[in-house]
Amino acid sequence: MNVSNLLKIALRAINNNKLRSFLTMLGIIIGVGSVIAMLAIGQGSKKSIQEQISEMGSNMIMVHPGNNERMGGGVRMNSSEMQTLKNADYEAIVSKCTRYLSAVSPMVSSSGQMIYGNNNYPTSVTGVSQDYLEIRKLTVEKGDVFTDQDIASSAKVCVIGKTIVDNLFTNQEDPIGKVVRFGKVPFTVVGVLAAKGYNSMGQDQDAVVLAPYTTIQKRVSNVTYLGSIYASAKEESQTSKAIDEISEVLRENHKIKDGADDDFSVRSQEELSSMMTSTTDMMTILLACIAGISLLVGGIGIMNIMYVSVTERTREIGLRMSVGARGVDILAQFLIEAILISVTGGLIGVVLGVGASYALTTILGWPVYIQPYSVLLSFLVCTLTGVFFGWYPAKRASEMDPIEAIRYE
């Protein structure tokens, strides 16, 4: 018996029981549809987090004081542990880690009110070096960045973002050369950053004020330590080497003995990204499991209906055998029927799942991302479901005794 005849027979059987076939399909439709939609939601949020992190900077490496691994995330460090990074560490990194790094900047920040005339705006001033702009992919649109001279002399100059400009200079003045106050400290605006807009998390990337780090340390916060050190690796592939090198320099600087714990932590952007996406990965797995269960339930539905169908059609099976169908022909017929039902259901499910995903984006604005493999995967799974759950009923049908089957009432 050839495949086209088998297909024809199975199609006729499905056609003779349209409603029942459709109801059987429903389980698969819902299963496949939800697997696709759930994976799309999970992948979508993962992708949006990754985008957020990559738009933060290029091949970024962050050095923070204290040992994150020892402390565990979220545990507060005491103040001495917060103060382990010094300017000397920054200078050591700049002078020694030249092989893999393209830019290094210290960072120390202070929050408060920015005041100009009658306007004020709550923000924080970030003390950095010029390299910071390269690391964070910032560009100066008007005016200039502060100079090495400004850093050396702790000059009270700053570069401000678009949001600060809009909130302080409300009557279209040119901010360059104007003096704004941060708390009691006056700063001369030397440059305005090009607007970056909101990031995908909804944060305003233009609400920034950059000043020489020495100015923040000496004139604003009166501290000698650094909040963190940021750096850019020359190539993405070099980030882990760069991290090792930075760690080595810092351990040497801090005179940490072999085997003792670091009092700082160095992390790359990818690590941060994988850390943040691990939760969404979990969520994706969870959602996919739930959807997978509904696919399984759909499969059991197929098996159930196939069993009913085999019993109901016992006489038909007997007849087919009496006119020359072999066991394998009967097996193939019912198996193909199960596969046709599950594949058709799967196709409809794919269409519905993709449709639902796009509906979620357009109506609710959820970030969704449909990976081709997830469509392929759920389609494969539903075909296998059909084979797996169709197998036993089909096998039972094929093993019937033709004489008993044809006498069956």
Partner 1 sequence: MERKSNKKPIIELRNVKRDFVVGDEVVHALRGVSFSIYEGEFVTIMGTSGSGKSTLLNALGCLDTPTSGEYYLDGVEVRTMNKNERAILRNRKIGFVFQNYNLLAKTTSVENVELPLMYNSSISAEERHERAVKALMAVGLGERLNHKSNQMSGGQQQRVAIARALVNDPVIILADEATGNLDSRTSFEILVLFQELHAKGRTIIFVTHNPELSQYSSRNIRLRDGQVVEDTINEHISSAKEALDALPPVKD
Residue 182 near residue 114 (C-beta atoms within 8 A): yes
Q: How far is the CB of 385 from partner 1 (least distance, A)?
A: 28
* CA–CA dist 186, 178 (Å, integer): 10
User: Which one, 158 or 317, has the nearer CB to partner 1?
Assistant: 317
Q: Which residues bind partner 1 (CB under 8 A)?
A: 1-2, 5, 8-9, 12, 16, 315-316, 318-329, 402-403, 406
User: Which one, 8 or 70, has the nearer CB to partner 1?
Assistant: 8
Mind giving me the DSSP string for 177-193?
Answer: T-EEEETTEEEEEEEEE
Q: How far is the CB of 322 from partner 1 (least distance, A)?
A: 5
Partners of 121 in the beta sheet? Answer: 114
* CA–CA dist 104, 229 (Å, integer): 7
User: Which one, 45 or 333, has the nearer CB to partner 1?
Assistant: 333
User: Which one, 308 or 328, has the nearer CB to partner 1?
Assistant: 328
Q: How far is the CB of 368 from partner 1 (least distance, A)?
A: 43
Q: How far is the CB of 26 from partner 1 (least distance, A)?
A: 22
Q: How far is the CB of 27 from partner 1 (least distance, A)?
A: 25
- β pairing state of 209-212 and 119-128: parallel
> In the chain, what is the greatest distance between 2 CA atoms, to the nearest angstrom?
105
Q: Which two structure tokens, joined as six digits, stand for 384?
A: 């296998």
- β pairing state of 60-65 and 228-233: antiparallel
* CA–CA dist 126, 217 (Å, integer): 10
User: Which one, 133 or 335, has the nearer CB to partner 1?
Assistant: 335
Question: If you ran DSSP here, which 8-state letter would residue 115 be given?
Answer: E
Q: How far is the CB of 11 from partner 1 (least distance, A)?
A: 12
User: Which one, 70 or 315, has the nearer CB to partner 1?
Assistant: 315
Q: Which two structure tokens, joined as six digits, stand for 86?
A: 């010094």
Q: Which two structure tokens, joined as six digits, stand for 150?
A: 């400004």
Residues 6+ apart with CB under 8 A from 394: 306, 310, 330, 331, 332, 333, 334, 335, 338
* CA–CA dist 289, 166 (Å, integer): 48
- From the list 23, 114, 60, the residue with the least C-alpha distance to 269 is 60
Helices (H) then strands (E): counts for the chain: 15, 10
* CA–CA dist 356, 202 (Å, integer): 24
User: Which one, 99 or 315, has the nearer CB to partner 1?
Assistant: 315
- From the list 229, 303, 408, 407, the residue with the least C-alpha distance to 24 is 303
Question: If you ran DSSP here, which 8-state letter would residue 128 be given?
Answer: E
Phi-psi region of 183 (alpha: psi -120 to 50; beta: other; left: phi over 0): left
Q: How far is the CB of 6 from partner 1 (least distance, A)?
A: 9
Q: How far is the CB of 25 from partner 1 (least distance, A)?
A: 20
User: Which one, 286 or 403, has the nearer CB to partner 1?
Assistant: 403
User: Which one, 5 or 113, has the nearer CB to partner 1?
Assistant: 5
Q: How far is the CB of 327 from partner 1 (least distance, A)?
A: 7
Tell me the angle at which helices 327-359 and 3-16 cross, rounded to the nearest 10 degrees.
60
Q: How far is the CB of 406 from partner 1 (least distance, A)?
A: 6
User: Which one, 288 or 321, has the nearer CB to partner 1?
Assistant: 321
